Chain A
Amino acid sequence: MTNRSFFPPMADDSLWQPNRGISRLVQRVIVVLFAIFALISVATTCGIVLSLIFETIEFFKKVPLWRFLTDNQWTPLFSNPQYGIFVLISATFLTSVIAILVALPLGLFSAVCLSEYAPAGVRKWLKPALELLAGVPTVVYGYFALLLVTPLIRSFAPWISGFNGLSAGLVLGISITPLIAALSEDAIYAVPNSLRQGSYALGATKRETIVGVVLPAALSGIVASIILAVSRAVGETMIVAIAAGQNPTLGLNPFVPIATMTAYIVQVSLGDTPAGSLAYTSIFAVGTTLFLITLALNIVSFWFVRRFQEKYE
């Protein structure tokens, strides 16, 4: 008797027999199912943390933490192994800095141009083009770096190695430019027009309005896009694995072969490494380091957005 109502009967009640019990049951099943789906994302995070921790502990059972932090070479596969993680971090740092030096001005100015200067018709075409370029697989960028950019650089400076941090960093920068441009453009475009008008009414020129009012108003979104781009650069694998080489070198020389954290993981994965071996656990230790770095960037980004996000209406 799912149809019995609390209220007095109405005429034609026999025509109306909604099966409220079934509806409610269906809804309950759906909610439980979808809740499980939503919890898969939480499970993923737990899976990442657990699988990293598990093997990293195994690694540190054999390698003391202080050697991980203080050795000045990274040669875990040699007979006289050294475990200085900063060798890999320095390479990651180098390529990321070069990339940001390229991507920051290009991306930000492009975003300003699209949002503030480009006519609506141009913007309509450029925006999807940018998003498309942001989706080009990084292995393709790796091809560019090794086979187009490096030969170009070496035609000017033949003494630079065939594998080097410079061309990997440059192409890495080109690859994250669309990301910065697209996300910053979203933030800049979302600044309410009333602010621009308020600024013009004070006798500001267009550039003064953009630099003095619009960009500061969009700051949280812009910074978030930059941090996301940095963490992409830090975690990017294929470009550096293909073009920067696989030769762990401590230092910030952009002209010699280097190995980033990600490149090392790829190098070991390509070989046939038995589970449980030191090489196997070492990629998890490197992965944990990488994860912690990107997590820290993420937390900074989160904090910044919470702190500086402006709410209009």
Chain B
Amino acid sequence: MTLPSQAFQDDSLDFKELKFFPDLPKRYKIDSVFKFASWAAVVIALSVLSILLIEVAIDGLSMINWQFLTSYPSRKPADAGILSPIVGTIWVMVLVALFSFPIGVGAGIFLEEFIADSFLENVIEVNIANLAAVPSIIYGLLGLQVFVRWLFPLTQGRTIISGALTLTLLVLPIIIIATREALRAVPGSMRQAGFALGATRWQVVRDIVFPQALPGILTGTILALSRGIGETAPLITIGALTYVAFLPPLSLEGLHSTFSVLPIQIFNWVSRPQQEFHLLAAGAIIVLMVLLLAMNGIAIYLRNRFQITR
């Protein structure tokens, strides 16, 4: 190896070397160690996670069949399926989407377009940032106290509606933050143009800003929902059941039905000592992961399309 720094250390050159001792070979050695460590970290992190995911796929793939998807959970592993948890997850997800999308987007628009840079905005912003860092199980305690107990007449206790409301509060901060970022990405000149045509602020938001921000908002909402349907702890705390051998009726009454969701069913099966149940858990994990991957795929697709058209 040639010493790189020798090129200029020629006697003919009268350099003010004086007190500088750059020692490049040593510095480059540390450089290459550092670079190696960086790549190693990425490779380790990704490979550990992929190995774990592949392991669970191998364990669970043999479980996936029509009978597994269309049966109710059972004490006998051979008969057990995940019909009611899947339906419960869909119920909860749809309800959470119905509640959280309008509320989150409305709140985001209010903060970003109507009271930006005010004291109130500052207070709410700090508050939302705080909420986003509160552990999910604390939301469970909130749901247990407020929705299950204090609002019992409305929710009938440990029901789908209680679970959905709890998860709504959990994902709201994420949706609000995503909405605000998407709105902020719309150039101010667009708003100016709207105002210059005599539109009110709301008309500017509704007709100019919101349509442009929509892909970003949808991306954030889908990611928030996918976080919501993976949550287990808050629903355990408000008392979602693990054996639900019926489907909630597709009506308003369904809201007052007890329920289970996929993560809870997985938790229940993992917690049992028998290996047959662990395989069931692996099967349910595959279903849950496919659902999440699909949602993330949609979100990434939206984001990429959004970036190109901009």
Give the interface of A toward B (CB within 8 A): 18, 23-24, 26-27, 30-31, 33-35, 37-42, 44-45, 47-48, 51-52, 54-55, 105-110, 112-114, 116-118, 126, 128-129, 131-133, 135-140, 142-144, 146-148, 174, 177-178, 181, 203, 205-208, 210-211, 228, 231-232, 234-238, 241-242, 262, 265-266, 269-270, 275, 283-284, 287, 290-291, 294-295, 297-298, 301-302
The answer to whether A143 and B281 touch (CB under 8 A), given A48-B142, A181-B45, is yes
* B104 and chain A: residue at smallest CB distance: A37
Instruction: Specify which chain B residues have a CB less than 8 angstroms from the CB of A41 in the assembled complex.
Output: 107, 124, 127-128, 131, 172-173, 176
Instruction: Specify which chain B residues have a CB less than 8 angstroms from the CB of A203 in the assembled complex.
Output: 22
Instruction: Specify which chain A residues have a CB less than 8 angstroms from the CB of B131 in the assembled complex.
Output: 41, 44-45
Other than the given A31-B114, A52-B141, A302-B126, 13 more pairs (CB < 8 A) read A27-B201, A51-B146, A107-B45, A109-B38, A135-B292, A136-B289, A139-B266, A139-B267, A143-B285, A174-B45, A283-B237, A287-B138, A294-B135
Q: Is the CB of A207 within 8 A of B22?
A: no
Q: Is the CB of A177 within 8 A of B34?
A: no
Instruction: Specify which chain A residues have a CB less than 8 angstroms from the CB of B141 in the assembled complex.
Output: 48, 51-52, 265, 283-284, 287
Instruction: Specify which chain B residues have a CB less than 8 angstroms from the CB of A39 in the assembled complex.
Output: 124
Nearest CB of chain B from residue A133's CB, rounded to whole Å: 5
Instruction: Specify which chain B residues have a CB less than 8 angstroms from the CB of A131 in the assembled complex.
Output: 223, 296
Within 8 A of A (CB), among B27-55: 27-28, 30-31, 34-35, 37-42, 44-46, 48-49, 52-53, 55
What CA separation (Å) do A42 and B176 show in the bound complex? 13
Can you list 23 A-B pairs with a CB-CB distance of less than 8 A?
Answer: A26-B202, A27-B203, A30-B202, A34-B114, A51-B142, A51-B145, A107-B45, A116-B38, A132-B296, A133-B49, A136-B49, A140-B288, A143-B56, A143-B285, A203-B22, A205-B31, A208-B27, A208-B31, A228-B133, A232-B135, A265-B140, A266-B237, A269-B239
Q: In terms of DSSP, what is the predominant structure of the interface of chain A?
A: helix
Which of A31, A44, A210 sits near B172, CB closer than 8 Å? A44
* A265 and chain B: residue at smallest CB distance: B137
Instruction: Specify which chain A residues have a CB less than 8 angstroms from the CB of B137 in the assembled complex.
Output: 235, 237, 262, 265-266, 287, 290
Q: Is the CB of A298 within 8 A of B107?
A: no
Within 8 A of A (CB), among B278-300: 278, 281-282, 285, 288-289, 292-293, 296, 300
Instruction: Specify which chain A residues have a CB less than 8 angstroms from the CB of B102 in the assembled complex.
Output: 37
Which of A51, A136, A174, A231 sits near B133, CB closer than 8 Å? A231
What CA separation (Å) do A135 and B203 show in the bound complex? 36
Q: Is the CB of A143 within 8 A of B200?
A: no
Size of interface on B: residues with Cβ below 8 Å to A: 88
Nearest CB of chain B from residue A151's CB, rounded to whole Å: 11
What CA separation (Å) do A297 and B39 show in the bound complex? 30
The answer to whether A177 and B233 touch (CB under 8 A), given A44-B142, A137-B288, is no
Residue B129 CB within 8 A of the other chain: yes
Nearest CB of chain A from residue B182's CB, rounded to whole Å: 16
What CA separation (Å) do A138 and B169 show in the bound complex? 19
Instruction: Specify which chain B residues have a CB less than 8 angstroms from the CB of A206 in the assembled complex.
Output: 31, 35
The answer to whether A138 and B145 touch (CB under 8 A), given A105-B41, A109-B37, is no
Bitwise interface map of B from 240 to 267 toward A, beta carbon under 8 Å scored 1, else 0: 0000000000000000000000010011
What CA separation (Å) do A103 and B264 show in the bound complex? 27
Nearest CB of chain B from residue A286's CB, rounded to whole Å: 9
